[in-house]
Amino acid sequence: MAQSLGQRIFETPLYPYRRSPDQKAGAPVRHKVVVVGAGPIGLAAGIDLAQQGVPVVILDENDKVSHGSRAICFAKRPLEILDRLGCGERMVEKGVTWNIGKVFFGDRKVYEFDLLPESGHKRPAFINLQQYYLEQYMVDRVRELEAAGAPIELRGRNRVEAVGVHDDHVRLEISTPEGPYNLEAEWLIACDGARSPIRSMLGLDFVGKVFEDNFLIADVVMEADFPTERWFWFDPPFNPGQSALLHKQPDNVWRIDFQIGWDIDRKEELKEENVRRRLHAMLGEDAKFDLEWLSIYTFQCRRMEKFRHGRVIFAGDAAHQVSPFGARGANSGFQDTDNLAWKLKLVIEGKAPEDLLESYDAERIFAADENILNSTRSTEFITPKSPASRLFRDAVLDLSEHFEFARPLVNAGRLSVPSIYDESPLNGPDDADLPRRTRPGAPAADAPTREGWLIDRLGNRFQILAIGTDAPEHFEEAGVDVEVVRLSPDESPEFRERWLGEAPGAVYLMRPDQHVVARWQAFDDAAMRAALRRAIGLE
């Protein structure tokens, strides 16, 4: 389906097969956690657990990073998560930051928008970066953790052939270039992608909708004058009746997507001369470019009914899929493992009941539904499914050129933002006088503090933020150590606005994934203990 042109970073084995002592052990060796899939989400799961001291083995049938650029658009919240995992800095250094989007209809530009990023955040709203770079940085991070003695292992060309699910463990049959062996895992995290073999082996299926359309992706290397902007075309002269997208990546690589319809000959469409003809129609007859990667994809908007099945937990595309519009695929996957890692750690350590993992389902299914809803709506706008739908779509685009009111109706993808778990069973009390954006269930709103970015001071453990109020030196409940972080109301104007509003002081209980559990205007020992117990599934 995809073809590559020339020798690329993604064609070099990054984690080649090495024999593990497990293969020669008499009885299957049992591991705490096995992650299947070394894509971005599987690597994130592994890094997160290892960083927190939970032993983890990552298996992948391949030994290379992502073939082609694939996911290219990374949003602020996932960047914050990747910062916590020690990979964010390299991504942002290498990545391309963009703020301006232009929308074209037919042969004219109907309007442009500026994402107008809010000030006072460490990370930008979005960067563009080829998935293979991200995976390379994540594999480097795995190596760094390994070298520091963290309990993490990455096994290339280890393919899971069969899964047996038991009450307290999972048995895996694995094939390698040197033959098969068996492994056991107390917990299995399946991050094995949209076509998840683990999902099929367990006979679990997806509910949702397949869209009957194909998109041709071309990664084009060229020296071009296009500014660093996202350009989206509805019904352009070079692709009549369809859509097209242009996005800049690092190294002068441009991602170009052509919607090409359902009834096509894939082989014909992927022929280099045919792709070049399309590109010349778009970029001009004189344009000079090289093709780095070509692919045709179709997509689904659907999810599993439940993400957790006993000792097997699904994350990322294996659990849910969306259309690419809005960049809600990989971006939501990082939020899955962000949500899961600390819960699994507490369960493994015996500090939290297994039931805590039910909140992974509750929170991430809520998020998946939000993503599916958004990406389904974008898909309907970009590829209208009925004459009436196209009529209104075109009416919106025509109006958007002349009237501002129509612009919010133009939907070329609603870019990924984190879900706020308003209904989470883990949430504690709220104080409605404090700002809405930092309410229980919300991810931390970054802001400058006197000791650096707030987001860099949060995560990996439960924390109490004592802002301009008293709080104890130490806090511990149910065997969980809670770090107390003291902050002044005057850290920065953004900090005050996002965390205090008009209140003189506040106390926040934060989860290890940087989400707010509960908040008050003053410290109350009994209320704090109850909130913590609830947040780890004890109440």
Partner 1 sequence: MGKLITEPNIPDPDGFYEELVGLHEGLTEAQSAAVNARLVLILANQVGDREVLSEAMEAARKAAENGIDRQEG
Cβ proximity to partner 1: between 358 and 394 the closer is 394
Of the candidate spans 112-120, 304-312, 356-364, 394-402, the one that interacts with partner 1 by CB under 8 A turns out to be 394-402
Smallest gap from residue 388 Cβ to partner 1 (A): 8
Cβ proximity to partner 1: between 24 and 108 the closer is 108
Angle at 43 between CA 89 and CA 2, to 5 degrees: 95
Q: How far is CA 510 from CA 37, 442, 443, 453, 519, in A?
A: 30, 10, 9, 16, 9
Q: What is the C-alpha separation between 239 and 444, in angstroms, rounded?
A: 43
Contact by Cβ (8 Å): 296, 269: yes
Contact by Cβ (8 Å): 485, 465: yes
Paired sense of beta strands 56-59 and 29-36, if any: parallel
Which are the contacts of 433, defined by CB distance < 8 A and separation ≥ 6?
Answer: 501, 502, 503, 521
Q: What is the C-alpha separation between 468 and 473, in angstroms, rounded?
A: 14
**Residues facing residue 164 across a β-bridge:** 171
Cβ proximity to partner 1: between 407 and 457 the closer is 407
Cβ proximity to partner 1: between 5 and 395 the closer is 395
- Let me know how many helices (H) and strands (E) the chain has, helices first: 12, 29
Smallest gap from residue 235 Cβ to partner 1 (A): 13
Q: What is the C-alpha separation between 342 and 462, in angstroms, rounded?
A: 10
Of the candidate spans 264-272, 276-284, 399-407, 460-468, the one that interacts with partner 1 by CB under 8 A turns out to be 399-407
Smallest gap from residue 110 Cβ to partner 1 (A): 13
Q: Could you say which of 162, 353, 403, 422 contacts partner 1 (CB under 8 A)?
A: 403
Cβ proximity to partner 1: between 296 and 406 the closer is 406
77: Cα separation from own chain's centroid: 9
Residue linked to tokens 């009390």: 429
Smallest gap from residue 373 Cβ to partner 1 (A): 17
Of the candidate spans 40-48, 333-341, 403-411, 486-494, the one that interacts with partner 1 by CB under 8 A turns out to be 403-411
Q: Could you say which of 396, 480, 532, 536 contacts partner 1 (CB under 8 A)?
A: 396
Query: Directed axis angle between helix 131-147 and helix 40-51, to 10°?
Result: 20
Which are the contacts of 336, defined by CB distance < 8 A and separation ≥ 6?
Answer: 41, 307, 315, 316, 319, 360, 364
Cβ proximity to partner 1: between 9 and 399 the closer is 399
Smallest gap from residue 234 Cβ to partner 1 (A): 15
Contact by Cβ (8 Å): 216, 258: yes
373-392 binders of partner 1 (CB under 8 A): 391-392
Residue 349: DSSP 8-state: T
Of the candidate spans 37-45, 190-198, 365-373, 404-412, the one that interacts with partner 1 by CB under 8 A turns out to be 404-412
412-441 binders of partner 1 (CB under 8 A): none
Smallest gap from residue 101 Cβ to partner 1 (A): 21
Q: Could you say which of 144, 398, 430, 497 contacts partner 1 (CB under 8 A)?
A: 398
Smallest gap from residue 401 Cβ to partner 1 (A): 11
Q: Could you say which of 100, 399, 484, 522 contacts partner 1 (CB under 8 A)?
A: 399
Cβ proximity to partner 1: between 281 and 399 the closer is 399
Smallest gap from residue 432 Cβ to partner 1 (A): 24
Query: Is residue 106 close enough to count as binding partner 1 by CB under 8 A?
Result: no
Determine the size of the site formed for partner 1 (CB under 8 A). Answer: 11
Q: Could you say which of 100, 406, 417, 527 contacts partner 1 (CB under 8 A)?
A: 406
Of the candidate spans 190-198, 365-373, 401-409, 498-506, the one that interacts with partner 1 by CB under 8 A turns out to be 401-409
Cβ proximity to partner 1: between 405 and 432 the closer is 405
Q: Could you say which of 27, 240, 405, 473 contacts partner 1 (CB under 8 A)?
A: 405
Torsion angle of the four alpha carbons 50, 52, 54, 57, in this order, in degrees rounded to the nearest 10: -20
**Residues facing residue 36 across a β-bridge:** 59, 190
Cβ proximity to partner 1: between 409 and 538 the closer is 409
Token pair of 101 as six digits: 């989007």
Strand boundaries in 115-205, DSSP class E: 126-128, 152-155, 159-165, 170-176, 179-190
Cβ proximity to partner 1: between 25 and 391 the closer is 391
Q: Which of 417, 538, 414 minimizes the C-alpha distance to 478?
A: 538
Strand boundaries in 260-311, DSSP class E: 290-297, 300-304, 308-309
Cβ proximity to partner 1: between 262 and 392 the closer is 392
Contact by Cβ (8 Å): 287, 279: yes
Q: Footprint of partner 1 on this chain (CB under 8 A)?
A: 391-392, 394-396, 398-399, 403, 405-406, 409
